[in-house]
Amino acid sequence: MTMAITAEISDALAARRPVVALESTIITHGMPYPQNLETARAVEAAIRDAGAVPATIAVLDGTLHIGLDAPALDALAQRADAWKLSRADLAVAMATGRTGATTVSATMIAAHRAGIAVFATGGIGGVHQGADQSFDISADLNELARTPVTVVAAGAKAILDLPKTLEVLETLGVPVITYQSDEFPAFWSRRSGLPAPLRLDRPDDIAAAALARAELGLPGGQLIANPIPEAEEIPTETLAPIIARAQAEAETAGITGKSVTPFLLQRIFELTEGRSLAANIGLVLNNARLAADIAISMARLGN
């Protein structure tokens, strides 16, 4: 297995300085070019500004990269044939020299392997609408149950069945902790109508909770649900009919498996005339800043 970690990141980890992992599926399958590249760069800059080191993760020609330099990030953002890698695909992609972007599940595995305990993304995958028929449940949920990484997201993507997603997370024993809110957020919107299972208001408490889990010998991570800033949100009422329409189109077109989430995100982008993308960028940046603060707390508390 080949893993390449940049000198900046390995130095930071060796000195126990804060590092934040970032996924790459959001770049290749979650946003159109060139906004995907601009966002990836802006997210890295936000983490640096907050005092931590960003570590964008991807598989390039079979090598698992922890940290991408500027040309590599640029090339990945323009590749149309990158695989979408979850826990199931990671080893095959590496063994056969592929290039692939890591989803939340594969990014957690890679981050943990490299010694990174905090990871920022947009929204995690979860239980899809109609899962009672399709059985489509994201591998992200199972990963949160097994791999000890704190994942900062704006909740689960609102294209999902959020009540069922929360139920599965509860069954799996994943702490779902909303940041500074009593309501579980719905990705592009601050509100979902669902109460937050747990609430914490300070990065120090989130870091302490991760430490306490480790001391208890519990496997698995924690999901930090960070509501999108008010100025950037799209109200649930505006989005609901658009999501329903995109979902109906996916069904008619026979979209299944890994293609479902990218298809829905792309259609919602078109149907909102780009507004969903602006909100997505806003929430990712917001998550990156919180993740950096949590990583700083963890470094101080000795996580």
Q: Which of 8, 23, 230, 251 is catalytic?
A: 23
- Based on its alpha-carbon atoms, the radius of gyration of the chain, rounded to whole angstroms, reads 18
Q: Is 27 in the site for ligand PSU (CB under 6 A)?
A: no
Question: 103 is in the binding site of which of ligand PSU, Mn ion, none (Cβ under 5 to 8 A by kind)?
Answer: ligand PSU
Tokens of residue 150, six digits: 């704190």
The end-to-end CA distance of the chain, in Å, is 27
Query: Per the structure block, which two tokens stand in for 173?
Result: 């024993």
Residues 239-298 that bind ligand PSU (CB under 6 A): 258, 261, 265, 280
Q: Which residue has its beta carbon closest to ligand PSU?
A: 122
In order of 155, 192, 233, 234, the CA distances from 166 in angstroms are 10, 12, 21, 22
The yes or no reply on residue 123 touching ligand PSU (CB under 6 A) is: yes
- Is residue 8 part of the annotated active site? The answer reads no
Residue 183: phi, psi to the nearest 5? Answer: -120, 135
Q: CB 256 → Mn ion: shortest distance, Å?
A: 8
Q: DSSP state, 128?
A: B
* Token pair for 289: 């800043």
Does residue 136 interact with Mn ion by CB under 5 A? Answer: yes
Strand partners, 152: 120, 224
**Residue 61 · residue 102 · CB < 8 Å:** no
The residue from 138, 150, 286, 297 that contacts ligand PSU (CB under 6 A) is: 138
18, 30, 185, 203: which one binds ligand PSU (CB under 6 A) = 30
Q: Contacts with Mn ion: how many residues (CB under 5 A)?
A: 1
Non-local (6+) Cβ contacts of 293 within 8 A are 50, 203
From the list 38, 157, 170, 233, the catalytic residue is 157
* Of residues 69, 56, 61, the one with CA closest to residue 25: 56
96: which DSSP letter? T
Q: Which is nearer to ligand PSU, 75 or 139 (CB)?
A: 139
Question: Considering beta carbons, is residue 123 or 185 the nearer one to ligand PSU?
Answer: 123
Is the CB of 129 or the CB of 138 nearer to ligand PSU? 138
Give the range of 5-13, 128-136, 146-154, 230-238 binding Mn ion by CB under 5 A.
128-136
Distance of closest approach, residue 116 Cβ to Mn ion, in angstroms: 25
Amino acid sitting at position 294: I
157 is catalytic: yes
Residue labelled with tokens 């996580």:
303
What residues between 90 and 109 interact with ligand PSU by CB under 6 A? 103-104
Closest of 187, 182, 186, 210 to residue 197, by C-alpha: 182
Stretch in the footprint of ligand PSU (CB under 6 A) among 21-29, 48-56, 162-170, 194-202 = 21-29
Catalytic residue numbers, as ranges: 23, 157
**Contact set with ligand PSU (CB under 6 A):** 23, 25-26, 29-30, 103-104, 121-123, 125, 138-140, 258, 261, 265, 280
